[in-house]
Amino acid sequence: MKNDVISPEFDENGRPLRRIRSFVRRQGRLTKGQQHALDNIWPVMGVEFNDAPLDFAALFGRDAPVTLEIGFGMGASLVAMAKAKPEQNFLGIEVHSPGVGACLAFCGRRRRTKPARNVSRCSGSATYHDPG
């Protein structure tokens, strides 16, 4: 079998070595609603990355189990899980800005009717996040 994959490193059988891939923040076209959410809702619900371990009780304002969703896309599954399990806290990590904006916009609309206190999100790569 011929290996057509261009890779600098291969195993003894000629297969490319798999590595953890770090996804970096991806920019894309933002709708006006997504941009508005990033500008106005991110300061309330977003989590800025830093090297310190997260204090989940302080982040969510309560001590509850935390579910981490890595790569939440547009946020539909993250919001659905949080809605279905209000007794838990949910943290989502996503690199695609339009997805973060869409999720924030949905949570922002939901907050006006019933606050979604159990959802936070982080924009960045999960390979850099150490839950402590």
pLDDT digits (tens, 9 = 90+) for 103-129: 888 887 765 545 456 676 555 555 444
Residue 19 maps to a domain: no
Tell me the three state secondary structure of residue 89. Answer: strand
Residue 127 CA to residue 41 CA, distance in Å, equals 25
Q: Please check the confidence at residue 93 and state whether its pLDDT lies above 60.
A: yes
Long-range Cβ contact pairs of 56-64 (< 8 A, separation 24 or more) = 56/89, 56/91, 59/89, 59/91, 59/120, 60/89, 60/117, 60/118, 60/120, 61/117, 62/89, 62/117, 64/88, 64/89, 64/118
Q: What is the mean pLDDT of residues 40-60?
A: 85
Examine residue 12 and state whether it is found in any structural domain, yes or no.
Answer: no
Exposure on the CB side of residue 119, measured as CA atoms within 13 A:
29
What is the reported pLDDT for 111? 56
How many domains are contained in the chain?
1
Q: CB under 8 Å to 115, separation ≥6 — which residues?
A: none
- Using pLDDT thresholds of 50, 70 and 90, give the confidence band for residue 23: low
Rounded to two decimals, the pTM is 0.68
Q: What is the CATH number of the domain that holds 49?
A: 3.40.50.150
Reported confidence tier of residue 47, pLDDT bands at 50, 70, 90: confident
Place of tokens 């990033």: 38
Q: 């924009």: which residue's tokens?
A: 123
**How far is it between the farthest Cα atoms of the chain?**
59
Average pLDDT over residues 67-82: 89
What pLDDT was estimated at residue 5?
43
- Specify if 8 maps to a domain: no
